[in-house]
Amino acid sequence: MPVKNRFAELLPEITAWRRDLHENPEILYDTIRTAGVVEAKLKDFGCDEIVTGLGRTGVVGVIRGKTNTSGKVIGLRADMDALPILEATGLDYASKTPGAMHACGHDGHTAMLLGAAKYLAETRNFDGTVVVIFQPAEEGGGGGREMCEDGMMDRFGIQEVYGMHNWPGIPTGEFQIRPGPFFAGTDQFEVVIKGQGGHAAKPDETRDPTLTASHLVVALQSIVSRNVDPVEQMVVSVTSFETASKAFNVIPPTVTIRGTIRTMTPETKALAEARFKAICTNTCAAFGCEALIDWRPGYPPMVNSEAQTEFAAEVAAAVAGKCDTAALTMGGEDFAYMLNERPGAYILVGNGDSADVHTPDYNFNDEAIPAGCSWWAEIVERRMPAA
């Protein structure tokens, strides 16, 4: 089945929804207006049940099929939040909120799931129940975790869950997916290297944290090169190096480094944390300094279930003519929390030759809407065919 004709008909309407969301971005859990728009539209569509305030500002809608002899319940998830970026697109519907921008396409994800919900509520051509999930705070806030901790999966009896993200560089409306580990776990760190400062002309009277931190930055790369199985994936990036002094002739008493470690499996994630802490502690001790370590666990690795990924790929190929294998990405995605609770799959839909996500020039490609909506609708109708 190609892209559903109904979504071609709905494209101007869904595009208008998307552009309104783009014009009014909200960050993390402050998705008050966005959640209100979603709630109002779900009511207009005739959803059987609507719940707000899950995961603080999340919205869930329930749509029941014509029959429910199967007893199946499928969750479909879209993220709603924007990023703290100053938009530079020059669009006539550019962000009206300085310093906030839909630079990752969550406006498109929300609009596509709303389009699918409208169609599914109109037709109800399936045997079972659909739960549409609109999540806040994907961009670093862990909104997926919060919705799960609020008991969403058990409350609505969700058995499988599916998500989607637009992807620049993939032809518009085409799909890519992979089974197993897909997106990385994303831990962060801050280490204060505490030494003894002094005059730069008398380094022998100091315990120099700048020298120590410099050795530490290099030593941390040994986690990847010497501790991790070469066939596994890991990234260690020190992204900030700050001293307590701006003077040319002062050795500061402290230096602070910050960064991120990305891993693909829980085992590698645990190994990274253990080796990181050991290297920081012992390297600093060797230079007479102390390491004050702040390890900040982030999103877990996102792992697609084998059977659900195979099914999702079949649906994508039916919609777009093919579905290619996606590359691993070291980016993070908090849909991982939902996949840790239920089997499911996460797919990429092409955004075409656009600017990359998380940049001021990015914009979601509205031409991807019919394919994205069709994929979600087909997931439901094929997984729970009408009795």
**pLDDT above 90 (res 304):** yes
Mean pLDDT of 29-43: 98
**pLDDT above 80 (res 3):** no
pLDDT, tens digit (0-9, with 9 covering 90-100), for 339-367:
999 999 999 999 999 999 999 999 999 99
How does residue 1 score in pLDDT terms, banded at 50, 70 and 90?
A: very low
More confident residue, 2 or 132: 132
Instruction: Answer whether 365's CB lies under 8 Å from 153's CB.
Output: no
**pLDDT above 80 (res 28):** yes
Mean pLDDT of 294-304: 97
Give the pairing type, strands 323-325 and 129-135. Answer: unpaired
Write down the pLDDT at residue 4: 82
How does residue 79 score in pLDDT terms, banded at 50, 70 and 90?
A: very high
Arithmetic mean of pLDDT over the chain? 97
Can you list the positions of beta strands (E) in the chain?
A: 49-54, 58-64, 73-79, 129-135, 160-167, 175-177, 180-183, 185-194, 198-199, 234-243, 250-251, 254-263, 290-299, 302-304, 323-325, 344-350
How does residue 84 score in pLDDT terms, banded at 50, 70 and 90?
A: very high
Write down the pLDDT at residue 2: 58
Mean pLDDT of 59-78: 98
Domains of the chain: 5-181+301-383 (3.40.630.10), 185-299 (3.30.70.360)
**pLDDT above 70 (res 9):** yes
Q: Is 387 helix (H, G, I), strand (E, B) or coil?
A: coil
Whole-angstrom Cα distance, residue 132 to residue 380? 11
Give the predicted TM-score (pTM) of the model.
Answer: 0.95
Instruction: Answer whether 33's CB lies under 8 Å from 26's CB.
Output: yes
**pLDDT above 80 (res 238):** yes
Widest Cα–Cα separation across the chain:
84
Write down the pLDDT at residue 387: 86
The DSSP string of 293-335 is EEEEEEEPPEEE-HHHHHHHHHHHHHHHS-EEEPPPB-S--TH
How does residue 242 score in pLDDT terms, banded at 50, 70 and 90?
A: very high
- Provide φ and ψ at 348, rounded to 5°: -105, 135
**pLDDT above 90 (res 309):** yes
Mean pLDDT of 128-136: 98
